[in-house]
Amino acid sequence: MRKKIIAGNWKMFKDLVEANDFFKQLIEKLPDTEAEVMIAPSFTNLWHSFQITRDYPIEIIAQNMHEENLGAYTGEVSAEMLKSVGVQRVILGHSERRMFFGECDEQLNLKVECAVNNEMNFIFCVGEEMEDRNSNNHFKVIKRQLDIGLFEMYPEDWKHAVIAYEPVWAIGTGETARPEQAQEMHHFIRKTIADVYGNEIAENVSILYGGSVKPDNAKQLFQQPDIDGALVGGASLKVSSFIKIIQAI
C-alpha cells in the first residue's frame, strides 16, 4: 500500500522564530489524518524544528544535500550531517535547484546514489517547462529525468523513494495543472516505473503533485487515482492553509 503524504517545502522562507511559531500552532491544530505530514525548513532550522516536533507525527526533512559524503565543498551539507540533526529524508532535484543552481540529471543520479548509500529517504522531483508541454515533449522530458536520475537504483532501493511531479510552469505561478493533466502525467510516471521495475514497485511508490496546490484545488487533485499527496510551496507557509490541504486528503 502506498503512503499518502503532504509535504511542505518552505524554500528560503522563515527564520528560527517564524519556524518556531509555525510548529507551535501546527502541533496544536494538526488534524487526525492517515497522511504523513512533512515540512522542509531551511538547513538552519532543521535541528530546532526536529526537536519541537519529535513527539508528534510531523517529519522534518531537508531541501537538498550534496552528493559526496564529505570534502572541501564550501557551503554544502552532507547526508551524514542531516542525519545527525534528525533528518531522514531529503528533497532532491527540485526545479529551483535545477534552474538556479545548475543541477543536472547526472548530478541528481549521484545524489540519489548517495542518499541510498546513506539509507536516506528522498523525494525526487521531476517536471517539464511550459515550452516542453507546448512542443509536446513533456513525456519525453519526464522520462529522461527518471531514466538518468533514478533508474540506476536497485529494486530494493525504491523503499527510500517518493516522486514529486512538479510542472515548472505551475510552481509559484498560481497556475495549477488541471487534475486530469496531473493524473495523466502521474499515470505515465507510474507506468514508466512499471516498465523498468515491474508493477509491484510502481504500485507502491507514492507520487506527489506540486505546483500551486492550495486549499481550494487540493481535493480535486487528491481524487485522482495516481496522485498520492502534495509537495506544497507557498500554501505551506501558513498553518491555516497547510492544515486545510491536510484535511483535503
Kindly state whether residue 212 participates in binding ligand 13P, applying the rule CB under 6 A: yes
Kindly state whether residue 213 participates in binding ligand 13P, applying the rule CB under 6 A: yes
Which listed range, 67-75, 100-108, 218-226, 233-241, lies at the site for ligand 13P (CB under 6 A)? 233-241
Name the closest residue to ligand 13P (Cβ). Answer: 233
> Which of 114, 107, 196 has the alpha carbon at shortest distance from 151?
196
Question: In whole angstroms, what is the distance from residue 202 CA to residue 207 CA?
Answer: 10
Kindly state whether residue 41 participates in binding ligand 13P, applying the rule CB under 6 A: no
**What residue type is assigned to position 221 of the chain?**
L
The helix (run of H) or strand (run of E) holding residue 126 is strand 121-126
Shortest approach of ligand 13P to residue 16 CB, angstroms? 21
Kindly state whether residue 232 participates in binding ligand 13P, applying the rule CB under 6 A: yes
Direct distance between the N- and C-terminal alpha carbons of the chain, in angstroms, rounded to an integer = 16
Question: In whole angstroms, what is the distance from residue 191 CA to residue 202 CA?
Answer: 7
Which listed range, 27-35, 148-156, 191-199, 226-234, lies at the site for ligand 13P (CB under 6 A)? 226-234
In which residue are the cell numbers 540519489 written? 112
Question: In whole angstroms, what is the distance from residue 116 CA to residue 120 CA?
Answer: 6
Shortest approach of ligand 13P to residue 9 CB, angstroms? 4
User: Which is nearer to ligand 13P, 201 or 230 (by Cβ)?
Assistant: 230
In which residue are the cell numbers 486530469 written? 180
At a CB cut-off of 8 Å and minimum separation 6, what does 75 contact? none
Which listed range, 109-117, 151-159, 180-188, 230-238, lies at the site for ligand 13P (CB under 6 A)? 230-238
68 among known catalytic residues: no
Kindly state whether residue 166 participates in binding ligand 13P, applying the rule CB under 6 A: yes
List contacts with ligand 13P (CB under 6 A): 9, 94, 166, 171-172, 210-213, 231-235
